[in-house]
Amino acid sequence: MTTSLDDAIHPIEASAVMALLPTRPRLLAIGEPTHGVDTVLDLRNEVFRHLVEHEGYRTITVESSCLMGLVVDDYITSTAGTFDDVMEQGFSHGWGKCPGNRDLVRWMREYNDGRPAPEMLHFAGFDGPMEMQSAPSPRDALTSLHAYLAEWIDPGRLPVGAEALSRLLGANERWQNPNAMMDPSQSIGQSAEALNLRILADDLVSLLDMHVPNLLAVSSWDAVDRARMYGRTAVGLLRYHHAMADASPARMERLCGLRDSMMAENLLALAGRAPTLAHAHNSHLQRQLSSMQLWDGPIEWWSAGALVSSELEEEYAFIPTVLGTIRDHGVDVPPSATVEGLLYSVGRDRFVVDARKLTADFEPRESEWFGYAPMDPAHVREHAALLFIRDTL
């Protein structure tokens, strides 16, 4: 190991991470190059614990449905529900089955035990409530926003009644048609009902914003924040369904961009309330333009991290995780000319890297497994820090 590499490597501690950042960020995000690897989640949990205990971060958010995340937050702050039910109902994409996520929720609840409300940790999902193959009805978000407003505002001021809103939404199955992802003609996102709902959702969000002073007086900041999240989600889902019905060549690019835009709005809202730690795939948190190769060619869009960074500037920090091997998926020892290969040669299991001191010219690493995205050598030194794990289990 060269002297410069000696100088670049640090133990995984909160102080070592923070020392590499230009300032203490309001939003500190740690990324992963693949999903569902427990070694990666275990490291994330350790780093997050250090940052909570020593740096005062009070919200942890992950790449999971913002609506489902409310179940987890209720559990860790008020012990509502049972652990197994919370893990099933509080995470999207099946993430509640991951041991690392289960350990995180257990620890957050233990941390909150006996603490006064202002000192408690909060959990949130920051992803929109959509899956790869479909998006749900906006019913849950829209009716929850409507119910909150109807409770605290004169119902005569609402642009629509609850029954009329329910009729416009119709059956959830109409929205969740999995064939609509590949066939725009099967989406109802540009139907007369959907277009009317977009106007009503905008009106309800506007009504919420206009009455914030009174809503804070009669309910709470947490209730207003939750209502705003319902509003963002309803509007975002209706935009997403509208784009699903679009047959133009820009359709998939717009869908990816809309999802990351929803992520960015949620991240900014969370960071606006308290210092926040975030975890997601590197591609959602990076500052660079995101890209994907699809069946009809490449697409590009700005990630949530790029959108958040343009708003928060140095108050946003992103630390990618870099992996040496994922042997159960055929990702073996990396070539020595790659950034992964150089870090693998150190021989340590895991460490923090000052990426700006990695002065070599790296070659790109190729992976036959589609589920893993190696570090782009062109952007290595744009990061203040990297987390490295030599071998996953």
Q: Is 146 exposed, middle or buried (0-12, 13-18, 19+ CB in 10 A)?
A: buried
Q: pLDDT tens digits for the chain (393 residues)? A: 444 588 899 999 989 999 999 999 999 999 999 999 999 999 999 999 999 999 999 999 999 999 999 999 999 999 888 999 999 999 999 999 999 999 999 999 999 999 999 999 999 999 999 987 889 999 999 999 999 999 999 989 999 999 999 999 999 999 999 999 999 999 999 999 999 999 999 999 999 999 999 999 999 999 999 999 999 999 999 999 999 999 999 999 999 999 999 999 999 999 999 999 999 999 999 999 998 888 778 899 999 999 999 999 999 999 999 999 999 999 999 999 999 999 999 999 999 999 999 988 999 999 989 899 999 999 999 999 999 999 997
279, β-bridge pairs: 30, 62
Q: How many CA atoms lie within 13 A of 167 on its CB side?
A: 5
pLDDT number for residue 263: 98
Task: Give the largest Cα separation in the chain, rounded.
Answer: 72
CA–chain centroid gap for 42, Å, is 18
Q: Which of these, 17, 27, 235, 55, lies nearest to 145 by C-alpha position? A: 235
Give the separation between CA 172 and CA 371, rounded to whole angstroms: 31
Q: Tell me the residue type at 14.
A: A
Give the separation between CA 184 and CA 195, rounded to whole angstroms: 16
pLDDT number for residue 215: 97
CB 129 within 8 A of CB 66: yes
pTM reported for the whole predicted model: 0.96
